[in-house]
Amino acid sequence: MRIFITGCNGQLGCELKRLLSCGMAEIGPIPSAYEGAKVLAADVDDLDITDAAAVDAFFAEHAFDVVINGAAYTNVDGCEANEELAYAVNAEGPRNLARACAAQGAKLVHVSTDYVFPGTEAGERTEEDQTDPVSAYGRTKLAGERAVLETWEKSFVVRTAWLYGYVGKNFVKTMLRLADSLGALTVVADQLGNPTSANDLAYELLKIALTDDYGIYHCTNNGICSWADFARAIVERAGYDPAIVTSCTSDEYAAAHPDAARRPAFSALANAHLARTVGDEMRPWEAALDTYMANLEHLGA
């Protein structure tokens, strides 16, 4: 099998490379179909997916069976100030990849986000629920979903949420750093979602890519919590008193950070399509976090 991973230096890209190299995820062994796979991985310095001519030239030199797009502009606040750039990366880039995949018949796995939903209704969102993003990040990611699905029929759009991995920056590492440096944290308590391990997500993406069940998927670790709940779980596992985390509301956070983008209040996802097809093996978010914290010291970067 010939596999191409974009955004290979990001949280998800690094886990995909790890799994394909060792054949094992924290959930368990990856499918045997990936044994001996030829993996090509690139980041923006190797291939700028916003450059259609560069993408076409790259694909003219290589043939792939599966392309997994982990490239994205994920700085939610940054997208508010740079929506044109975010659109180029999050929408036009995926369109370019979909067009190139269509030309050679390669499957495309495109990663999207819970932020395509408005977050105004309590409960979990399914793949069929109405999208209506409240931020530039959400708008550009939704445009990317539509571009992919309109361009190439052999595409999977996989929405995830609150992602953290061993390599790079994420909420878990930020909470640990602030707990160490400040000794006290104030975290939003009225936004609910699903913390998700990049290792678990990578495992499920590899399963999905072997099927012909194209379309939209949700893929997060199971269980719902607030950002404040998540923060308390993180610091407690690191040996701190969870009481160092104080809750605030989204309005209070916005008043203190006026340039911050709006976030959906309820963005938890239900892995319905996943469960109906390859099976939902995503762990409870607490179990995934346990493993991550145990491994972070020797795997983190």
Tell me which residue of 108, 87, 105 sits closest to 97, measured CA to CA: 108
> In this structure, how many other beta carbons lie within 10 angstroms of the beta carbon of residue 22?
10
* CB within 8 Å of 147: residues ≥ 6 apart: 91, 92, 94, 95, 98
Do the bridges between strand 2-6 and strand 155-160 make them parallel or antiparallel, or are there none, so unpaired? unpaired
Catalytic residue among 137, 164, 240, 253: 137
Distance CA 113, CA 132 (A): 12
Active site residue 164: no
3-class DSSP assignment, residue 160? strand
Beta-strand runs (E) in the chain: 2-6, 38-42, 66-69, 107-113, 155-160, 163-164, 185-188, 192-193, 196-197, 215-218, 225-226, 245-248
The residues that are catalytic are 137
